[in-house]
Structure 1
Amino acid sequence: MLETIDIEPQRAGFSSSRLSDAVAFALANEINWSRNIDDQLGKGEFEPPPWNEILGPTTPRGGPAGVIMRHGRVAAIWGDERRADMTFSVAKSYLAILTGLALADGLINDVNDRVADTSLDDHFTSAQNRDITWLHLLQQTSEWEGALFSKPDLIDRNRQLGAEPDNSRKGQHRELGAPGSHWEYNDVRVNRLSLSLLHLFRRPLADVLRERIMDPIGASNDWSWNAYRNAVVTIDGVEMPSVPGGSHWGGGLWIGALDQAKLGQLILQRGAWNGQQLLSEAWVAAMLTPCAINPEYGYMWWLNTDRARYPSASASTVAAVGAGGNTILVEPAHDLVLVARWLKGAALDPLIAQTIAAIGA
């Protein structure tokens, strides 16, 4: 039976008409991506052949969708808020949450510990990798060198992000520095974090997430976290999927906008839900602390330091962000959660502005 959703813009402190205008804006600004994700990835969205080989499952995407919540109330919904679509790098932020659970369980003593001391494989034994800490992996400063599930870290070296990134040097050799010396958005290294967490929990990460986070916050059973076809490892004699922190090569977290809004609300509430502390408040604070060499990034969450990313939002705003215009935005100054799916990148800040302008109008 589907959950009944009360949509209460006025009780959430919004002008219904002004908020309707914001929703109309979101619907009118769908990203220019094919609805067939295979086609989008196959034409070299992230890199040219043969490095763009799809290793995991894909699913056709839906249309623009989203949810706006304020004061814990659903104020607006557009599109199909329950459709479990691919989320791309939004999944990275879920890996940070899982790392917090590993710390709470004593599987990690401190994020400054070396991964080599606890991760049960030989990918951290080289001179380049042996001093990498959990903090380095979380902040994307690890400079980890190697290949994982047939993808070398080289594939994302020199990768640039932004509205008009220059990726002419992406995939070209770059001399690696010491761990912590260079920030680089690298999906292979993120997937290396995921595999390390799998070794710690010794059970599929999706099961841990479902039991510890998603079920307690009332998420649906429709979401899934899908591995590459070659990303199966044996732990304690049992084959388990090692899930990716994105959908760069297929797979990844497939989830609906309403479930994502609930996750955003958990972060807004500093890890608390209905009287339970599902995620340590100290961990949420650490996760949203700026990286020393990239103040717009925390532990796999994007930050709005100096309002650089989202000028219309407060500096305390944080976001889980994925390709294709997928965003979970948490805006504490207005007690606001905004989830947008398949939105043009340039439209996100205007959508934030229109949403905030609708408060109390």
Structure 2
Amino acid sequence: MDFQEAIDFAVAHEVPWPRDPTCDPARWGVHHADPAPFNRLRGPVHERGGVSGVIRAGGSEAAAWGEPDRADLTFSVAKTYLALLAGLAHSRGLLDVNERVGNRVPGIGFEGAHNGQVTWTHLLEQTSEWSGTCFGMPDTVEHNRRVSHDPKPPQGAKGEPRQLQVPGTYWEYNDVRINQLSLALLHVFRRPLEEVFREEFLVPLGGGEGFAWRGYDDAWVTIDGQRIPSVPGGSHWGGGVSISARDQARIGQLLLDGGAHQGRQLLPAEWIDRMRQPCAVAPFYGWLSWLNRDGAMFADASRESWFLVGAGGHYTWIDPANSAVAVVRWIDPARSPGFVHRVVRALARGS
């Protein structure tokens, strides 16, 4: 299969962010849209590479470009990594997706008439409506947030508090609530999530070089006498996952293969299947992943396709219809449909 046209297109359409976040801070990141004083970075960030990526077809690497082994920030792709950790915890009997989170991890903000209703499923599908402050960030800073693949128009200005709905009845892309999920998972595993993810997924898949999952400067908790960082599910306010394109492709292959790798089940196939099921009130979304069932996300991609997406032009595309995984990084998001179109055409020519 010849993916050169898709590669050339991606390289020619790099996201218009500076490669060094310190040289032109106003053009780097997504935090600028937040109301003050929350429109600032709270965790470390670092220089990025150029457009890079990996395409796998039939279980093997078919193409790679840029710096595929460079560990770069990947923003909200990390949300899906939290879903994988939740699946690992579920497989070990450490949580039940239908239970109320406060019953499993009391004392961290899942109490009361409203927050006490929140289940793990609500957090995974972003319908929790959790209300409160997580490491100094109020959930309201993300009220009325608009993200590119959300068809629902915002109900007000970004950061303008709105009326909360019953948990499970309203979908909102909210990074504060994602960070609250991460905190809950930290209390479930009782060890750094960075270590768990590396040891349970990346190392068995043959990866992990350069991988890091960093927290905010002040987001630390003490569990069993150990001071541990609580990591964010993205890099909205800094920190987050730094990972290579090849490792992202390895994770994508694991999802394509139903959680199995070389005869070992790293995650239950049932969990992977559930991640792809549409949310009742947001059918374009599964469990911390984006779906393409109606073709609204990418018209040229198969309807079985699903995506891990991060700000700054990060996409991990899992395509069961073509037994393919494609990772592209630092592409201008407005140009991502052109990349998908060219990959689909190459796959069709090669089949």
TM-score interval (norm. to shorter): over 0.9
- 2:130 paired with 1:144: yes
Task: Give aligned pairs, total.
Answer: 344
Asked if the contact 2:29–2:236 (Cα under 8 Å) also holds between the matched residues in 1, the reply is no
CA distance in 2, matches of 1:324, 1:120: 36
Q: Which residue is 1:67 aligned to?
A: 54
- 2:110 paired with 1:124: yes
Q: Which residue is 1:258 aligned to?
A: 246
Q: Which residue is 2:16 aligned to?
A: 32
Large movers: runs of 4+ above 3 Å: 40-46, 163-168
Q: Which residue is 1:247 aligned to?
A: 235
Q: Which runs of 5+ in 1 are unaligned?
A: 1-13
1:167: Cα distance to partner?
9.1
Deviations 1:244-268 (A, max 9, x none): 0000100000011111011100000
What one-letter code is carried by the residue in structure 2 that aligns with 1:67? Answer: V
Asked if the contact 1:160–1:167 (Cα under 8 Å) also holds between the matched residues in 2, the reply is no
**Could you tell me which of 68, 92, 102 is aligned with 2:89?**
102
- 2:219 paired with 1:231: yes
1:178: Cα distance to partner?
0.8
CA distance in 2, matches of 1:204, 1:268: 27
Asked if the contact 1:41–1:52 (Cα under 8 Å) also holds between the matched residues in 2, the reply is no
Q: Which residue is 1:342 aligned to?
A: 330
What one-letter code is carried by the residue in structure 1 that aligns with 2:323? Answer: D
CA distance in 1, matches of 2:46, 2:166: 39
Q: Which residue is 1:175 aligned to?
A: 163
1:298-337 matches, cutoff 5 A: 298-337=286-325
Q: Which runs of 5+ in 2 are unaligned?
A: none
Q: Single out whichever of 51-60 and 160-169 deviates more from structure 2.
A: 160-169
1:268-307 matches, cutoff 5 A: 268-307=256-295
CA distance in 2, matches of 1:206, 1:212: 10
1:307: Cα distance to partner?
1.3
1:193-232 matches, cutoff 5 A: 193-232=181-220
Asked if the contact 2:14–2:330 (Cα under 8 Å) also holds between the matched residues in 1, the reply is yes
CA distance in 2, matches of 1:99, 1:21: 38
SS in 2 for 1:348: helix
Asked if the contact 1:82–1:256 (Cα under 8 Å) also holds between the matched residues in 2, the reply is yes
CA distance in 2, matches of 1:60, 1:228: 17
1:316: Cα distance to partner?
0.8
Deviations 1:188-218 (A, max 9, x none): 0000000000001001111111111110001
| RMSD of equivalent CA atoms | 1.6
1:49: Cα distance to partner?
3.5
CA distance in 2, matches of 1:232, 1:334: 43
Q: Which residue is 1:154 aligned to?
A: 140
Asked if the contact 2:315–2:329 (Cα under 8 Å) also holds between the matched residues in 1, the reply is yes
Q: Which residue is 2:179 aligned to?
A: 191
CA distance in 1, matches of 2:169, 2:191: 32
